[in-house]
Amino acid sequence: MRIGIGIAIVLLTVNSLYGQGYAFGVKGGLTVGIQQWNGFERDPLFAYNGAAYIESETEESGLALIAQLGYHVKGSALRNRFAVNFIDNQVFRAADREFQFRNISLMLGAKQKRDFADDVDAYWLIGVRGDYTVDTNLDIHQNFNSRYNTLFFPVDDFMQPWNYGVTVGGGFEFMFSELVGGVIEMTVNPDFSLQYLQPQINNVTDPFTGQLRSLPERRIRNLTFEITFGARFLRKVVYID
């Protein structure tokens, strides 16, 4: 991650020396997280994200290099589910549960801007991303696992802390003054690597039947959709003859 930040700083420094400056800012907003567990899609997780970014500024081409460091909560949920406990022959509503993976993310990429209206630019962007999971909420589900001596819900032991993927999206930049603006952005962020990898486990007690069964291998990969709002500050390089 330090190497990526160093590369981004070098790129932006070169651009500021030979271009027209750079822009920086902060942004944050809503994250919708989606995961598949063994091919079965869970309910969406509604969470949040925040990031600080810096980018080059070249008015002639509209092409900018981007470096972004952010905090993103990813995962999935189980909601409004009914289950049958065959031991007691009862149907009950299972508690809503969220499975959160809280990641620090570094994204390096590029964006292409086009004039959209007065003081408004539209843009698209693409970047490569590396994530590190600093925390999860999986421990709150362990009472259920311990009660039935099972691994029905994911546990931290099989969480994969390092992940990578891409970010693709676009948005709009608004100029409020010569040096201050705002941004609205929408992105899709698929991970190529696995956030969670649990091998097959035999002789596990099924919490609903009380019988022993095998839990198949569990492979969980993240996909998020984000909408963010932010502030943007421009630093121009002025040449004096």
The string of pLDDT tens digits covering residues 217-234 is 889 999 999 999 999 998
User: Domains along the chain?
Assistant: 2-236 (2.40.160.20)
Nearest residue to 193 (alpha-carbon basis) of 164, 166, 217: 164
| Burial of 50: CB neighbours in 10 Å, binned 0-12, 13-18, 19+ | middle
pLDDT tens digit string along 152-181? 788 899 999 999 999 999 999 999 998 999
pLDDT tens digit string along 59-117? 676 889 999 999 999 999 988 755 555 445 554 455 688 999 999 999 999 999 999 98
**Residues 6+ positions from 204 with CB-CB distance below 8 Å:** 149, 150, 151, 212, 213, 214, 215
